[in-house]
Structure 1
Amino acid sequence: MKNHHAAHPADFGTVLGEAPGGVAVRSSNYDSIADEDMPARDWFHSTIDGVYMGYKWQCVELARRWMYANHGYVFEDVAMAYDIFRIREVVRPATGERLPLHSFRNGAKRPPEPGALMIWNEGGEFEVTGHVAVVTEVGADHVRVVEQNVEDAVWPDGRPWSRELPMRKRDGGYTVDCTYDDGEIIGWVIQTGDPTHAEVELDDNPALFEIHRHALAPAPAAKASWLDPEDPIQANYIELMKGENLSKDPADMSAYYTVSATALREIRRATNELHRMFMHATNQVMKDDALLARFNLPPALWPRIRRSWNNRRNEMITGRMDFSMRPDGLKLYEYNADSASCYMEAGFLLGRWAEAFGCNAGRDPAAGLHDALVDAWTETEIDGVLHIMLDDDLEETYHALYMREAIEKAGIRTHMIQGLDGLQWGEDGEVLDAEGTPIRWVWKTWAWETALDEIREDLAEDEENLRLHRTIDRATQPPRLVDVLLREDVMVFEPLWALVTSNKAILPIVREMFPSSRFLLNTGYELTDELRASGYAAKPIVGRCGANVSLYNRKEDLVAATDGRFEERDTIYQELFRLPQVEGRNAQLQAFTVDGAFAGVGIRVDPSLIITTDSDLLPLRVVTDGEFLRR
């Protein structure tokens, strides 16, 4: 969220003022925090009586803390502040008692009142997350609120509120205006048993969640040249695809898919909410040995994984969420939070196809992907050479070259290391590249599981062997992948903790923590009667690219399966929610995250019920709802 800092914002945690009930309102000026002052993520968790209030000192944290201090109840944990407008009850943690909560759309005939929560939509001033404030005073033409994570200025002496918002009455309703031009207030939420004038949620037209396939007219010529073989990124793609092709089917050169603007809004919202949920779940796993044991990770690595999580500079750059979208819902299959692919195709290639062949339908929903990557790399503040490590693989090569463009545009110097040849030992077990440059910052195309396979094979569970600088004779043996990636002073993207977030063993935990999320499928470690009744997918917890997945219908008939190298891994069971069929092909939407936020979406299609690494990536466009329904 952007922040209207004062000329001299108060340091993080400074009490700005006091809300009714003696609740302190604090500064969230994160720029003022020194790493040594708050080195671990848990230090940012606000709790009272063992009840989690939120992340210090954000807007949702104040709203929950104010409710708890004044009334003894809280609303459920939410990924985004705007989600509060959808909540329909609060709960008293001490007794489990549930009380009704009603939402009133801005302009409703019931005005806000002291104790109500004012809710802002995502976008503008409150991009991505939305915002929430507590109403403390209501006048004839104004509303006063207390809030966190906005101005971070100490209130003037004697003033008991953060901000005053204009309110006007028109046509029997009450409208509250934000004091920022680009902030939009959705409405207010009141704990009351009286639903008069409350919001009645209307579902979007289910037809807006279909996916359509179209063909260009005229179709591109069979041998049309539209890529630049002199560009290494495009040259590697051409070699992999054996020509300037999108798939093995010539008809796909003129094909594109569309989704509605409403669908894109839902995908964006789901992606942002789910990322927050997975971060909450990852934190829960890090605190619980019994949960972490579910992930089939060497116990000797647990302390390192936890240190990686607690290092606040060690953040994700990229991730990809795989969705099934049908008229009856948008559901997440999994979160690929480690070495996610398809960025080059979505962020460059398919936009190039549209430009070359004049596909002017709607807009490209991944057009901003490259710029988002540049911004994310700029935020890392890398102060040396970033080594890009990859295998001798065509897809990894063009993916790495595309990422290098964004990294270097962010002002970061890079060296590419393809394979492990040329690595050499420096002092004290430090690893150097072929030119003698120490490797201290790494972005990799390899999944962390590749490094773990090396550990499992060579080092087993010997904790002394996991002291990597003592594992081999450096005089006779060259550095291995683990000697680079698991060295304590090397910062790796994606971070080691992504082993937890990307492992499908986290899916049952996320579902348990957020049972009311409309984006999550029922998932468990055991096959239950409920899962049998719905049909289910059996997935290895560390499988990749759709490998070793089996789908069973409600009669427990096997309807589809893939092979692979993960058949001996533990399994999770997920409610069967099939992909939509679009003119004979199953279509899966892939939402890309950059720095933890939605950055674009693409589509992958296949005649098979299970999407794999061989499934086709084809052009996707977003059109207005009206245009979508007319086609």
Structure 2
Amino acid sequence: MERIGIDPRSFWRAKVEQAGLLFHTEGDLPYWNESAYYRLSAGEVDVLETATNELHEMCLAAVQHVIDHKRYAEFAIPLNAIPSIEWAWEAEPPSLYGRFDLAFNGVDPPKMLEYNADTPTALLEAAVIQWKWLEERFPEGDQFNSIWEGLVELWGELRRDRHLKGPIVHFACSDSLEDVMTISLLRDTAHEAGIQTEGLLMEQIGWDERNRFFVDMHDRRIWTIFKLYPWEWLMADNFATQALQTMSDTQWIEPIWKMILSNKAILSVLWELYPNHPYLLPAYLDGPREMTSHVRKPILGREGANVTLSDGESGEDQGYGEEGFVYQQRFDLPSFEGNHPVIGSWVIDGIARGIGIRESDGLITDNLSRFVPHLFV
């Protein structure tokens, strides 16, 4: 695994904007950084693919364990959500995707930092933008990236096998540009699979009290809805009761059992079930225990906010942590001249489909960390 400097393409901003990446710059700093790329070997890609697939299976087993042993309190899951979680786990409504964040230096086994299993972003950058960069800069090269194809294939299977309710799949998110562009990509993959879609903001979802179902801005019933909106936020919203009461009628993607898998408390359960596993780091909910160096993470935190290293380095304070923390063994990211990469390994329909790499100046990956393309040889 190498980091190689390279001149950006001429007119790169216009090119990534044309492909949909409108948030390529944060202030004066590039978020999309093509002044370098990471070069991996085919063997390293195989290692990442194998690790991702095994970790996903382990995570599903951990969810089953949590449900079997009713360990919801450790995850700060509200009591009224538990019946719906257990129903959805057994009913197996559609689930699209997730993203593991892995620490990897090309020598040691990848280490799982967390699993963004409910509302992962950086999808556009990974699936489309870095692929178009590769086609232009290294047309004979290759990239661990079949994310787009995986999504189209999955949508096609869901449509053919009649696993989707209703004639239209709705897509909803907050009004942030990144979320809107992520939704746009997902809608495009659904369209390619022959599915009709409709987009709206979460606040535009309506409720038909007489007929007891959700509606869109045209008063059409919402049968299937992909929501880029965390389940814990939805459970705190005004229509949480209606969502829970109609769980078997309205098909939510991602399903509500992702409240367990997207919660960082799963790290503690994984270490309990698979102690000393080469892909895991020690993790506990009751404190650092024997760890001499650790990272404290809010179990419901996002984008590195309120993450604290035992030496004092911390992420931005955004008020996360009320529900509790997990203490994970510190595993320093590799440093390439002061750039610290995290591998985002994408899972589509339970299968590893590609990676995206984000790097930061410090050891905490946050919303200002740069996305850098990759290739393998």
TM, length-normalised to structure 2 = 0.91
2:65 to 278, 284, 294: 284
Question: What is the CA distance between 1:276 and its match in structure 2?
Answer: 0.5
Q: Quick one: distance in 2 between partners of 1:561 and 1:414?
A: 37
Residue aligning to 2:338: 584
Residue aligning to 1:271: 52
Q: Deviations over 1:121-152 (max 9, x none)?
A: xxxxxxxxxxxxxxxxxxxxxxxxxxxxxxxx
Question: What is the CA distance between 1:426 and its match in structure 2?
Answer: 5.5
Contact kept, 8 Å, 1:213 with 1:583, in 2: the verdict is no
Does residue 217 of structure 2 align to residue 434 of structure 1?
Answer: yes
Residue aligning to 1:402: 185
1:543 to 279, 301, 310: 301
* 2:127 alignment partner, SS class: helix
Does residue 137 of structure 2 align to residue 351 of structure 1?
Answer: no
Q: Quick one: distance in 2 between partners of 1:383 and 1:431?
A: 13
Contact kept, 8 Å, 1:451 with 1:482, in 2: the verdict is no
* 1:226 alignment partner, SS class: helix
Q: Deviations over 1:168-200 (max 9, x none)?
A: xxxxxxxxxxxxxxxxxxxxxxxxxxxxxxxxx
Residue aligning to 1:386: 169
Amino acid at match of 1:487: T
Residue aligning to 1:335: 115
Q: Quick one: distance in 2 between partners of 1:486 and 1:411?
A: 30
Residue aligning to 2:285: 525
**CA 1:269–1:396 in structure 2 vs 1: closer, same or farther (change >3 Å)?**
same
**CA 1:251–1:280 in structure 2 vs 1: closer, same or farther (change >3 Å)?**
closer
* 2:341 alignment partner, SS class: strand
- Which shows bigger deviation, 253-262 or 588-597? 253-262
Question: What is the CA distance between 1:216 and its match in structure 2?
Answer: 2.8
* 2:104 alignment partner, SS class: strand
Segments of structure 2 that go 5 or more residues without pairing to the other structure are none
Using CA pairs under 8 Å that are at least 6 residues apart, name the structure with larger relative contact order, 1 or 2. Answer: 2
Q: Quick one: distance in 1 between partners of 2:252 and 2:287?
A: 36
Q: Quick one: distance in 1 between partners of 2:241 and 2:2?
A: 45
Does residue 246 of structure 2 align to residue 487 of structure 1?
Answer: yes
Q: Quick one: distance in 2 between partners of 1:282 and 1:616?
A: 32
Question: What is the CA distance between 1:551 and its match in structure 2?
Answer: 0.8
Residue aligning to 1:309: 89
Contact kept, 8 Å, 1:589 with 1:603, in 2: the verdict is yes
Does residue 6 of structure 2 align to residue 216 of structure 1?
Answer: yes
Contact kept, 8 Å, 1:408 with 1:414, in 2: the verdict is yes
Q: Quick one: distance in 1 between partners of 2:284 and 2:198?
A: 43
Residue aligning to 1:187: none
Contact kept, 8 Å, 1:541 with 1:570, in 2: the verdict is yes
Percent identity of the aligned residues? 28
Contact kept, 8 Å, 1:439 with 1:484, in 2: the verdict is no
Residue aligning to 2:266: 506
Segments of structure 1 that go 5 or more residues without pairing to the other structure are 1-210, 459-479, 624-631
Q: Quick one: distance in 1 between partners of 2:24 and 2:57?
A: 36
Q: Quick one: distance in 1 between partners of 2:32 and 2:95?
A: 37
**CA 1:482–1:214 in structure 2 vs 1: closer, same or farther (change >3 Å)?**
farther
Contact kept, 8 Å, 1:369 with 1:600, in 2: the verdict is yes
Residue aligning to 1:448: 231
Q: Quick one: distance in 1 between partners of 2:186 and 2:31?
A: 29
**CA 1:360–1:292 in structure 2 vs 1: closer, same or farther (change >3 Å)?**
same
Does residue 355 of structure 2 align to residue 604 of structure 1?
Answer: no
**Which structure's CA Rg is the greater one?**
1
Q: Quick one: distance in 2 between partners of 1:423 and 1:619?
A: 40
Question: What is the CA distance between 1:528 and its match in structure 2?
Answer: 4.2
Q: Quick one: distance in 2 between partners of 1:335 and 1:582?
A: 24
- Which shows bigger deviation, 480-489 or 519-528? 480-489
Q: Quick one: distance in 2 between partners of 1:615 and 1:286?
A: 35
Write out aligned runs for 1:35-184 (5 A): none
Question: What is the CA distance between 1:262 and its match in structure 2?
Answer: 1.4
Residue aligning to 2:197: 414
Contact kept, 8 Å, 2:306 with 2:314, in 1: the verdict is no
* 2:232 alignment partner, SS class: helix
TM, length-normalised to structure 1 = 0.56
